[in-house]
Amino acid sequence: MHGIDFLELAGYGGADTGGEHGVRLLKDLDLDIGGRDVLLIDDVVDTGLTLNYLFRTLSLRQPRSLTAAAFLDRPYRRLVEDLPVRYVGFTVPDEFFVGYGFDLDERYRHLPDLHVVRANGNVKIRPA
pLDDT of residue 19: 45
pLDDT, mean over the chain: 86
Q: What is the DSSP-derived secondary structure letter of residue 21?
A: G
Provide the annotated active-site residues. Answer: 46
- What pTM was estimated for this model as a whole? 0.81
Question: What strand order describes the sheet that includes 65-73?
Answer: 37-45, 65-73, 85-91
Residue 122 has pLDDT above 60, yes or no: no
| Rounded-to-5 percentages of helix, strand, coil across the chain | 15, 40, 45
Single-letter residue type at 28: D
Phi, psi values for residue 98, rounded to 5°:
-130, 165
Where are the chain's structural domains? 1-94, 95-128
Mean pLDDT for the stretch of residues 114-120: 80
SS3 of residue 91 by DSSP: strand
Quote the Cα angle for 113-119-121, to 5°: 135
CB 27 within 8 A of CB 44: no
pLDDT digits (tens, 9 = 90+) for 2-51: 899 999 988 765 444 444 457 888 999 999 999 999 999 999 999 998 99
Higher per-residue pLDDT: 1 or 97 = 97
Class of domain 1-94: alpha beta
